[in-house]
Amino acid sequence: MTLAATLRRHWCIIRAIQPPFVYPSKEKLFDLVREEGFLDYSESSFERDKKDINEQYGIYVRYSKLRNGYFIDIREADEDITDFNGFLDLLERRERVEFVNQTLTGVREIGKYLQLEKNPDFSGISHLPILWEAMRAQRIIAFGYSAYAQTPAPAQLRLVEPGLLFEYKNRWYLDGWDINKNEVRTFGLDRMTSLQLTDKHISQKRNHQYRAMRQHVIGVNSAPNDEPMRVVLRLTALQANYLQSLPLHSSQQVIQTSPEYVDFELFVVLNKELEIEILGMGEAVEVIEPVELREKIKRRIGATFQKYR
């Protein structure tokens, strides 16, 4: 059994028993795995997968006698459901990469059938190993930083307690505690220079704060005290298909449909990235709520119109 096949089987089981729990029976789980192509999946295969999932990922596949089905015990697997969902995303990505590795033999053959987004000039990726080591060892980092602005300024020295790495549109960012400013700040890795680990350790763990700050954010820009708002977007029936297949946010859900349009509801922080996503859909979208966002989009459309008069 190849690694790609094993990962696909594990992912299939975990996906079926993750929150929100539906407690599938063993027979249902077997059917799901067999639908993935593992026609000879058996009792012994299932027991081996449960053991491997526990040993490799540190999570537990449990059986509920009350519900007559299986579930993941989050209390033992991961106290933070957001962290657990992040793990699932990474596992799915790993499964896809291994599938490509196993399916296409040789780099030249891969190039015939696979094209990825190209960002040859993007800088900052080289910082990832140092940042990962800093978070693992709970060490403060020092680096020069120049924010993008209309008037470029010399790089300023920053001392930061690193907290959370995240990716958005092929760029990497770091949420961390800026020691001099005494607040949480977000830094683009492409704007960091001379990154170093210091011998000082992080004074306070703020993982839950970083996660909470990102929970309702599309993109990058957000302040720690920003509150999410109910956003209702009305899309044409055609455009709605794209938004359903690739949601803007995990809170997204359909609240009304008609032959002409579909209304989506989200609970997110109002920021620049949300506006860009809306503007990018052009005439296929209308902001219904909140009025604040609707008026802001109207002003931006008006300003764009003036450039083309």
pLDDT attached to residue 151: 62
Residue 81 inside a domain? The answer is yes
Q: Are residues 172 and 238 in the same domain?
A: no
Task: Classify residue 204 by its DSSP letter.
Answer: S
Residue 52 has pLDDT above 60, yes or no: yes
Q: What's the CA gap between 219 and 8, in Å, rounded?
A: 29
The candidate with the shortest Cα–Cα distance to 194, out of 238, 158, 234, is 158
pLDDT beyond 50 at 169: yes
Return the closest-CA partner of residue 252 out of 268, 238, 234: 268
The amino acid sitting at 4 is: A
pLDDT band at 78 (very low <50, low <70, confident <90, very high): very low
Tokens describing residue 298:
């109207």
Start-to-end Cα distance in the chain: 63
36 and 86 assigned to the same domain: yes
Residues 50 and 21 in one domain: yes
Give kind and range of the element (H or E) at residue 177. strand 171-178
Same domain, 95 and 9: yes
pLDDT of residue 98 exceeding 70: no
Sign of CA dihedral 136, 141, 144, 148: positive
What average pLDDT does the segment 102-114 reach? 63
Give the residue-averaged pLDDT of 61-86. 73
Instruction: Say what the pTM is.
Output: 0.72
Q: How far apart are CA 62 and CA 225, in angstroms?
A: 38
Q: What is the mean pLDDT of residues 176-189?
A: 93
Phi-psi region of 225 (alpha: psi -120 to 50; beta: other; left: phi over 0): alpha
Last residue of a domain, one of 188, 214, 240: 214
> Where residue 268 sits, what CATH number does that domain have?
3.30.70
Indicate the number of domains in the chain.
Answer: 3
Residue 117 domain-assigned (yes or no): no
Residues 2-28: pLDDT tens digits?
777 888 888 889 889 987 788 999 999
For the chain, give the longest Cα–Cα distance: 71
Give me the domain span that covers residue 79.
Answer: 3-100
